[in-house]
Every structure is written in C-alpha cells, then in structure tokens.
A and B are shown apart, each in its own frame.
Chain A
C-alpha cells in the first residue's frame, strides 16, 4: 500500500477515503463522520468521500430537521470545497435504488457505478467508514 505514497514537505501523504453509509439523522454516524473529515483536512492528506447505501441521503437537497429537534448539518457538505475536499463519489446503484438523481444532491459529485467505486476503494491507503 505504501508504494502509492508521496512525500510532501517531509510528511507522508496518503489517500484517505471516508465511506458514508448511513442516513443523516437516524444515527449519529454521518454527523460524527463529517467531523473526522473536517479534521483530516488539517493534515494535508489526499482525502475523498464516498456515499453508498443510505449514505446518499446525506447529500439530499432540502433537508429540514426542525421537527426532529436536530441540527441540520447538510450545509457543511457545501463547505467541504473550502477545506480542499472536492472528491465526492456517489454510487450510482445506491442513488438510483432510492429514486434520486444528481439534481437532487446539494453538491457536485462524481457518480460511479459499483465496480468503479470498488476499484477506487482498492487504491486507497486508509478507508474509514461510517
């Protein structure tokens, strides 16, 4: 896995992929997962995020959590660009199974089919899934 590693300013740069599998509010995984992603930006690593299964709902436009009494953290996904986290991959099968299209998502993403995303995952040095 380390043959892909680059050295930059004396530090190691690894490919980190954060895999988001859960709907945004039913559990805390999406919110706390996003906290790790934001922290990772400070370490100058090659960071990407993948959205599969119910995780695709994290990117759904028009989230309204007022009745839930929970904070709507979906605007944070739009702020990721400012942290240089721009590689957002959505699995096509998961998106389509939920009746969603790219137009339903609140950020620009790259839609990949399952096999493409699996290949992308295989390239990573570190995979953390929530």
Chain B
C-alpha cells in the first residue's frame, strides 16, 4: 500500500512524532511504500539538527534522518510553518538574510502542495497529532 504520513506535533512534548516514526518504520518493514512524510504545525520542529536530548533518551530528529537514509524517505517540512518557527535550510537562510540554518539531514523544505499531492497520490494519508 502507498501511504502518506502527516506529523502535526513537535518532538518530546507530544507522542505524535514517536508514533509517526514507529508507524512509518513498521510500514516500511512490512514492505509498504511510504510516499512522503509531511511535517506541519509544530511538527516542523522535528527537523532541527540543533536538537540534543539527554543521552539516555531517544534522538527523535536523528532517528528520522537515519530512517530517511536507509529507505530514501521523502521527509518534507512545510515552508510557511517552518519560517514561523525558525526552521531554515541554507537557501532559505540566505534568502531571508539569516546568519544560520538548522535543517537536519534527510529533510527538505517545500510547500503545502506536497501535502495535498500526498493525499491525492496515496492509498492512505495517516495523521499523527492531537
């Protein structure tokens, strides 16, 4: 089955990102196709590489990056939601005159059209949020 995943909450505060990760990983291991994982609302905060949890805790951001690398996953961060919350890639930081960027490996910034397109293309769009 072709599946799209929508993550609407940030890391650690809510379990949504953990659930989305566990779901995505399990689906991939069962041989399903994950067409795209789209991060919206505070979900964009799952993509900052400046995240540094205590050592005995899971690293939610790195975990996504590693999964993306292993399965060539398309992790898309909504540009408008990202700009509101200070998530930048190199191009966007340059365009906005910022002195830094922080997007983690394996994520890309794009528009909301990518979410709607996932809804159109996938057999199921599964939302994780409150």
| Chain A residues within CB distance 8 Å of chain B | 1-2, 11-12, 14, 16, 28-29, 32, 35-36, 39-40, 42-43, 45, 125-126, 128-130
Contact = CB atoms under 8 A, between A and B. Distances in A.
A1 B111 contact: no
Contact of A39 (B6, B113, B123, B125): B113
Given A39-B111, A128-B125, A128-B127, A45 B116 contact: yes
Nearest to A2: B123
A35 B8 CA distance: 14
B104 interface: no
5 smallest A-B Cβ distances: which pairs? A126-B119, A39-B112, A40-B116, A43-B116, A126-B125
Given A39-B113, A128-B6, A129-B127, A32 B41 contact: yes
Contact of B120 (A12, A28, A35): A12
B114 to A, nearest CB: 10
Interface string B85-111: 000000000000000000000000001
B123 A1 contact: yes
B45 to A, nearest CB: 13
B40 to A, nearest CB: 7
Main secondary structure of the interface of A (DSSP, over half): mixed
Contacts of B117: 43
B123 A14 contact: no
B111 to A, nearest CB: 7
Contacts of A45: 116, 119-120
A104 B2 CA distance: 42
Given A35-B80, A39-B113, A126-B125, A16 B41 contact: no
B61 interface: no
A29 B41 contact: yes
A112 B111 CA distance: 33
A28 B123 CA distance: 28
Given A1-B123, A14-B119, A32-B40, A43 B113 contact: yes
A11 B121 CA distance: 10
A39 B111 CA distance: 9
Contacts of A130: 8
A1 B125 CA distance: 12
B11 to A, nearest CB: 17
27 contacts: A2-B123, A11-B120, A12-B120, A14-B119, A14-B120, A16-B119, A28-B41, A29-B41, A32-B41, A32-B80, A35-B80, A35-B112, A36-B112, A39-B113, A39-B115, A40-B116, A42-B113, A42-B116, A43-B117, A45-B116, A45-B119, A45-B120, A125-B119, A126-B120, A126-B125, A128-B6, A129-B127
